[in-house]
Amino acid sequence: MRHLLSTKDLAREEAIVILDVAEDMAEVAGREVPRLPALRGKTVVNLFYEDSTRTRISFEAAAKRLSADVINFSAKGSSVSKGESLKDTAQTLAAMGADAVVVRHPASGAPDVLARGGWIDAGIVNAGDGTHEHPTQALLDAFTIRRRLHGAAARGHGLDGCRVTIVGDILHSRVARSNVWLLTALGARVSLVAPATLMPVALDRWPVELGYDLDAAIAAGPDVIMMLRIQAERMHDAFFPNAREYSRQWGLDDERMAALPERSMIMHPGPMNRGLEISAGAADSPRSTIREQVANGVSVRMAVLYLLLSGAMEGKA
Ligand code: CP
């Protein structure tokens, strides 16, 4: 694995290797000195053209736990505001000796351009590009589901037969796209539930079932219900009912949570609009995995950086 740009590129076996290495990394995190020398002498650059809390901080924590040097670059306050291009920025990072570049960008495809442009000889990790993909979010979601299903015996398992319902602003969600490819590769059955105006067109090649009624989806008793953030900043021309109407029809409130089977996990990638797509009661309930997802993100990103920079999966994706 030279780059991680999309979960569509990952075969089941490759995804399981990443999740298993993340289990090893989680064991390291539990130790008194949670630091490994594995990436000593390597430099990881966090190149963020869009805001982030979870992803940027957890990549930084992951790189530091592997003893890499970390450079954080935020487009705000940089020479991007003076018109510097992605190519010139990449070449500047190359001159600084970046071994891996973790990139978040508002334009779908920007990490692919960086990986294929030949401007920088570094592993590229997509940390979220426009409405396209967010592969490490999907990996940490899969890791969290697998752990809740299999506990300490999770290694080697996929998610065979697990029924996952993803709800909300599918149209703008890179998290939904990455999860559809990854979770189905791991054997899960994925349903998408959204208002028709927030469902992408041309879904005929997606390996999913579609629904438009959240109460019917809940009555079907999913193992996992993953609520998505309403992405107001990307809404542009999409039709969005008012917040009260959206919450009434598409929000996971306390009443709907009570109608879910006891075993159902409640997920959200964050950041949340509490009271819109998810109630505080659902977000903070024992069935919610939201804080586990954040904690697991560090182990998963340690695994991705390690596999990329050690060459352990070279030629496999
Ligand atoms: N889930 C996620 O990508 O969160 P951030 O935008 O805070 O990184």
pLDDT digits (tens, 9 = 90+) for 120-170: 999 999 999 999 999 999 999 999 999 999 999 999 999 999 999 999 999
Tell me: pLDDT of 203 over 80: no
Q: What mean pLDDT is reported for the chain?
A: 94
Is 42 annotated as contributing to ligand binding?
no
Is 54 annotated as contributing to ligand binding?
yes
**DSSP secondary structure letters along the chain:** ---B--GGG--HHHHHHHHHHHHHHHHHHTSSS----TTTT-EEEEEESS--SHHHHHHHHHHHHTT-EEEEEESTTSGGGGT--HHHHHHHHHHTT-SEEEEEESSTTHHHHHHHSSS--SEEEEEEETTTB-HHHHHHHHHHHHHHHHGGG-TT---TT-EEEEES-GGG-HHHHHHHHHHHHTT-EEEEE--GGGS-S--TTSSEEEES-HHHHHHT--SEEEE----GGG-TTS----HHHHHHHH-B-HHHHHHS-TT-EEE--S---BTTTB-HHHHTSTTB-HHHHHHHHHHHHHHHHHHHHH-TTTT--
CA of 104 to the centre of ligand 1 (A): 10
Q: What is the largest CA-CA distance in the chain?
A: 56
Question: Residue 274: which of 284, 266, 286, 287 has the closest Cα?
Answer: 284
CA distance 63 to 61: 6
- Contact predicate 29/306, CB 8 Å: no
Is 281 annotated as contributing to ligand binding?
no
Tell me: pLDDT of 32 over 90: no
Q: Is 106 in the pocket of ligand 1 (CB under 6 A)?
A: no
What mean pLDDT is predicted for residues 286-290? 97
CA of 127 to the centre of ligand 1 (A): 9
Indicate which atom in ligand 1 lies nearest the CA of residue 51: 6
Instruction: Calculate the CA 316 to chain-centre distance.
Output: 21
Indicate which atom in ligand 1 lies nearest the CA of residue 104: 8
Predicted pLDDT at 236: 74
ipTM for this prediction:
0.98
Sign (positive or negative) of CA dihedral 10, 16, 17, 18: positive
Tell me: pLDDT of 316 over 60: no
Residue with the nearest Cα to atom 6 of ligand 1?
52
Is 92 annotated as contributing to ligand binding?
no
Could you give the domains of the chain?
Answer: 7-134+294-310 (3.40.50.1370), 135-289 (3.40.50.1370)
The model carries a pTM of 0.96
Predicted pLDDT at 46: 96
Tell me: pLDDT of 317 over 60: no
CA of 53 to the centre of ligand 1 (A): 6
∠ CA 78-294-316, rounded to 5°: 80
Q: Is 297 in the pocket of ligand 1 (CB under 6 A)?
A: no
Residue with the nearest Cα to atom 4 of ligand 1?
54
Tell me: pLDDT of 314 over 80: no
Show Cβ contacts of residue 205 under 8 Å, excluding neighbours closer than 6 positions. none
CA distance 305 to 317: 14
Q: How confident is the model at residue 312 (pLDDT cuts 50, 70, 90)?
A: confident
CA distance 317 to 306: 15
**How large a percentage of the chain has pLDDT more than 90?**
84
CA distance 19 to 177: 19
